[in-house]
Amino acid sequence: MAPFTGSVPVASVRWADRALAPSRRATLAKRQASTAAPAFGTALTEHMVSARWSAGPGWHNGEILPYQPLRIDPATVGLHYGQSVFEGLKAFRRPDGVPVLFRAADHGRRFQRSAARLAMPALPADDFVAALSALVRTDEAWVPHEENRSLYLRPLMFAADTSLALRPSTTYHFLAVAFVTESFFGSTAHPVSVWCGRDYIRAAPGGTGDIKCGGNYAPTYLAQQQAADHGCQQVIWLDAAERRWVEEMGGMNIFWVRREGGRDVLVTPPLTGTLLPGVTRDSILALAADLDLTCAQRPMSLDQWRAEAASGVITEAFACGTAAVLTPIDRVVTEDGAWDAGAGPPGTVCARLRDALVAAQHGVGPDRYGWLTPVR
């Protein structure tokens, strides 16, 4: 899909420009407002990516447009049947000021797997990266310079046919928008308490728990409400079959630090098909080895977590994902009582890993794993 590789139609806006047109002043004000801790997904930039797919021509009309509402036919199939997938990744600034996308090709490949599961066409990973690079290049002024902020990129694709027949759409619309987001950082990474209830499940074998699709989060809201009712910020998800094995925390992957033979071992559940294969999870596994931490992908039952946190074997627990980076867990609440998530102070190993991840994301030091795509 050639259009993303050349110059983009709307690329001339510069915030340093003194002669801002009146309509631009509004967005400038919005950008300045966004410097006060923007709520997630509110400080949207000025442009967006749009591309179309139809059987026959395939991908076409890839372009950068001014950010704008869509005109959607009420019979658009993606609205009715959830044939829709998305991704979430971030752009940072290197110490030399150059914006970089973090692990964009990995997110592009996961976007393809999500699409394949819902019988949708694949967007080539190169086009995915080129489209997001074009968006970041166009809205470069929005990429924060502060270490605890980044530009969150939200690509999505939905079925665009206007027919409510029960079959895969023959046309699709790919979009990407971007917004400024604040990460938790240093001492401001507050530990969360988690609720583990019995009423709901997140993912079942053969389902869609290992992809990012439109239906990912809405079915979790009631469980999240129950967590809040129990004074907790997040939900722990157990496996659907036995309700025994811990799989994820909210929309994040989970880790424990276990004391094994005098060493700290980082344990995370294996990718059974009902866990989302997080890019952050994968980054942590790579960086842990650099920090001389042993890693193990092993199942962890709720019972084992409880017993080993009490006996001192599990020293801490934390969760990770692109949006919130790394979040320590301090307390677990269930219908059978509450306990401390680990025997040590929450967040010690977690903080070391977070620092290593933040350094890798910002290109501090060599890009050893080829994770960064510079945008210039």
Applying CB under 6 A, the residues found at the interface with ligand PLP are 88, 212, 216, 248, 251-253, 276, 278-281, 321-322
Residues 179, 40: Cα–Cα separation, whole Å: 8
Q: Give the nearest distance from C-beta 316 to ligand PLP in angstroms.
A: 19
- Identify which of residues 278 and 346 has a Cβ nearer to ligand PLP in the complex: 278
Q: DSSP letters along 138-179, please?
A: HTGGGS--STTEEEEEEEEEEE--B---SS--SEEEEEEEEE
Strands 192-196 and 325-334: parallel
Q: Are 127 and 115 in contact (CB under 8 A)?
A: no
Residues 264, 348: Cα–Cα separation, whole Å: 11
Provide, for the chain, the percentages of residues in helix, strand and coil under a 3-state DSSP scheme, each rounded to the nearest 5.
25, 30, 40
- Identify which of residues 278 and 347 has a Cβ nearer to ligand PLP in the complex: 278
> Which amino acid is present at 236?
I
User: Measuring CA to CA, which residue among 312, 204, 201 is closest to residue 256?
Assistant: 312
> Which amino acid is present at 370?
G
Q: Give the nearest distance from C-beta 156 to ligand PLP in angstroms.
A: 13
- Identify which of residues 160 and 320 has a Cβ nearer to ligand PLP in the complex: 320
| Main-chain phi, psi angles of 320, to 5 degrees | -145, 150
Cβ neighbors of 357 (< 8 A, separation 6 or more) are: 280, 283, 284, 287, 325, 326
Q: Give the nearest distance from C-beta 246 to ligand PLP in angstroms.
A: 13
- Identify which of residues 13 and 372 has a Cβ nearer to ligand PLP in the complex: 372
User: Measuring CA to CA, which residue among 184, 212, 217 is closest to residue 277?
Assistant: 212
- Identify which of residues 46 and 248 has a Cβ nearer to ligand PLP in the complex: 248
- Identify which of residues 31 and 212 has a Cβ nearer to ligand PLP in the complex: 212
Q: Give the nearest distance from C-beta 284 to ligand PLP in angstroms.
A: 9
Torsion sign (Cα): 126, 131, 137, 142: negative
Q: Give the nearest distance from C-beta 255 to ligand PLP in angstroms.
A: 12
- Identify which of residues 161 and 248 has a Cβ nearer to ligand PLP in the complex: 248
Q: Give the nearest distance from C-beta 107 to ligand PLP in angstroms.
A: 7
The tokens 């270490």 sit on which residue? 147
